[in-house]
Amino acid sequence: MCLKYLGQFIQQCQHSFEIDARAALLYLENLVMKSICIINNQNGKKTNKKNKIQKIIQNVNKKYL
């Protein structure tokens, strides 16, 4: 899902540690979104938790990416 953007980030990075950090954040975002899907499917209903976590991820992306 979000891992398709990794190529864009690698092109913008100047140091290898930047690539590692950005790749880790994208991987974490992907895991969080998959976890939300599993939780929502188990509960049988949609919640606002997904929106809240997406906002947190966006804030992290703005701050660190």
DSSP annotation string for the chain = -GGGGHHHHHHH-SSHHHHHHHHHHHHHHHHHHHHHHHHHHHHTS--THHHHHHHHHHHHHHHH-
Reply yes or no on whether the pLDDT at 24 is more than 50. Answer: yes
- Pick the more confident residue, 63 or 6: 63
Domain count, the chain: 1
Reply yes or no on whether the pLDDT at 29 is more than 70. Answer: yes
Domain limits for position 42 = 2-64
pLDDT of residue 1: 38
Name the most confidently modeled range: 13-22, 36-45, 54-63: 54-63
15-42 CB burial, b ≥16 within 10 A, e <16: eeeebeebeebbeebeebeeebeeeeee
pLDDT of residue 2: 47
Model-level pTM?
A: 0.32
